[in-house]
Amino acid sequence: MAEASVSRHGMWSSRLLFVLAAAGSAVGLGNIWKFPYIAGENGGGAFVVVYLLCVVLVGIPIMMAEVLLGRSGRVSPINTMRKLVINAKASPLWVLIGWMGALAGFLILSYYGVIAGWALYYGVEMASGHFTGADAAAVSGTFDDFLANPWQLLFWQTLFMAMTIFIVARGVVRGLEVAIRLFMPALFILLVVLLGYAVTSGGFAEGFAFMFHFDWSALGVDGVLVALGQAFFTLSLGMGAIMAYGAYMPANSSIGSTVVSIASLDTLIAIVAGLAIFPIVFANALEPGEGPGLMFVTIPLAFAQMPFGALFGTIFFVLVSFAAITSAISLTEPALAYLVEQYNANRARVAISLGVICWLLGIGTVLSFNHWEQITLVGGQNFFGTVDYLSQNIMLPLGGLLIALFAGWVLPRMVTEEQLGSSPWVARFFLPLVRYVAPACVLAVFAYTLYSSLT
């Protein structure tokens, strides 16, 4: 199949920019608190070893499959799947991969923008000195009062969505690339600064031990399935974002080495984030297992009690905001690129229209923390819980599974070799992993998440 030389939406100017963009898509709010905590709770170093194995067996093969599909089509995920299905003479039902990814990304962004708005708010509050010297009751009360005020939540959601839409409206080169060039290096610098601060906090040894002590007895079947799920979800797989970004990837870049670089960078950031956060938590004798509350209750309380806490607390929430916005801009791309192609529409107008619709849907999440908190939909969950469950637990694993099956069994071998090369490793490693191992693992995660939610 002859490959289109460029995408009509633009191209990444270098392999490095693609790596940073894809890593930015992968690095989000979950990396900052979730990976370090679940590692500590599931055997520390033992969990990290299993997680890395899952990244190699599941994350990297599916990400390679998504990138090669995107670069083969050079259009939006929906139209890429249409093109590849026609070329492979396959069932048009496979195009559902593109539709499901675009819809999942849109749904995730509707509530992601709300949560990311919290990080913006906390950055401002930290900088103002609001938390300086505050005790646990005051910090917890601030969070509860914030969630109870829908107008405040709506304001910060609006600000975050406006920032996101402004970036994506400017296109791949003038928007996405400029943002990535600014936010990703800044994220790395802030993370290193915060790590340096954590080293001097007095709890570094305890935080390090929490994450890396080898306790194989603490790693049960549940822990392995959690590692599998984290390896899949952390790389932004199944939502079309990586396929969309792959369409803008330079033709002369190696997909294999590029994807390995992305996965390595994502894992490194998650580990460094843990080493930066948990020493501060332990130095203040706080509870590390607060989940999302760790970010908005425990962490602010820790900084409130520490010298220069306002300064470094501000740095932390700026870092979280940067991580959130690099993920958010990738969530818009699959749906936006399709609408631009389908209707030959102006990118800025489409971006604004999608942003407004997503913002309106996000109001349901805003109200889920106050006025609509007791209104339940699917499985007894409120609006936010329902949207999160359908997108994260159903659509993303199903999308990843179908991507692996299509790339491994339906896509003509000549297309795979055109994108990955015809070296023996493709037949010996990539194809077996994407055909058998990755689908089996994703099915296990799918079954586990469904079972966990129903019991």
Burial class of residue 325 in the structure, from the number of CB atoms within 10 Å of its CB (0-12 exposed, 13-18 middle, 19+ buried): buried
Rounded Cα–Cα distance for residues 298 and 139 (Å)? 8
Secondary structure of residue 122 in the 3-state scheme: helix
Which run of H or E residues covers position 400?
helix 396-405
> For the packed helices 136-148 and 150-169, what is the interaxial angle rounded to 10 degrees?
70
Which run of H or E residues covers position 358?
helix 347-368
Rounded Cα–Cα distance for residues 218 and 36 (Å)? 15
Per-residue pLDDT of the chain (455 residues; tens, 9 = 90+): 444 566 777 788 888 888 988 888 888 777 776 787 788 778 888 888 899 999 999 999 999 999 999 999 999 999 999 999 999 999 999 999 999 999 999 999 999 999 999 999 999 999 999 888 888 888 889 999 999 999 999 999 999 999 999 999 988 778 888 888 888 888 888 888 888 888 887 888 888 888 888 888 888 888 888 888 888 888 889 888 999 999 989 888 889 999 999 999 998 988 888 888 888 878 877 776 666 667 788 788 888 877 888 998 899 898 888 888 988 999 999 999 999 999 988 999 999 999 999 999 999 999 999 989 888 887 778 899 899 888 888 888 899 999 999 999 999 999 998 898 767 777 788 999 999 999 999 898 888 777 776 66
127: containing domain? 15-454
Say if CB 414 and CB 1 are below 8 A apart.
yes
**Contacting residues for 146 by C-beta, under 8 A, at least 6 apart:** 118, 121, 152, 153
Residue type, 151: W
Which tokens go with 195?
């790590």
351: domain CATH number?
1.10.4160
307 within a domain of the structure (yes/no):
yes
Say what the pLDDT of residue 290 is. Answer: 62
Alpha-carbon Rg for the chain, nearest whole angstrom, is 21
6 within a domain of the structure (yes/no):
no
**Contacting residues for 378 by C-beta, under 8 A, at least 6 apart:** 386, 389, 390
Say if CB 399 and CB 239 are below 8 A apart.
yes
Q: Which residue has the tokens 């370090």?
A: 36
Rounded Cα–Cα distance for residues 139 and 137 (Å)? 6
4 within a domain of the structure (yes/no):
no
Secondary structure of residue 44 in the 3-state scheme: strand
Rounded Cα–Cα distance for residues 366 and 370 (Å)? 8
Which tokens go with 3?
């490959």
256 within a domain of the structure (yes/no):
yes
Identify the bridge partners of residue 214 per DSSP, sorted by sequence position.
44
DSSP 148-171: H-HHHHHHHHHHHHHHHHHHHHTH
297 within a domain of the structure (yes/no):
yes
**Contacting residues for 412 by C-beta, under 8 A, at least 6 apart:** 1, 87, 88
8 within a domain of the structure (yes/no):
no
Secondary structure of residue 200 in the 3-state scheme: coil
Provide the whole-model pTM: 0.90
Split into its structural domains, the chain has a count of: 1
Say what the pLDDT of residue 62 is. Answer: 95
Say what the pLDDT of residue 1 is. Answer: 46
Say what the pLDDT of residue 291 is. Answer: 61
Rounded Cα–Cα distance for residues 11 and 245 (Å)? 9
285 within a domain of the structure (yes/no):
yes
211 within a domain of the structure (yes/no):
yes
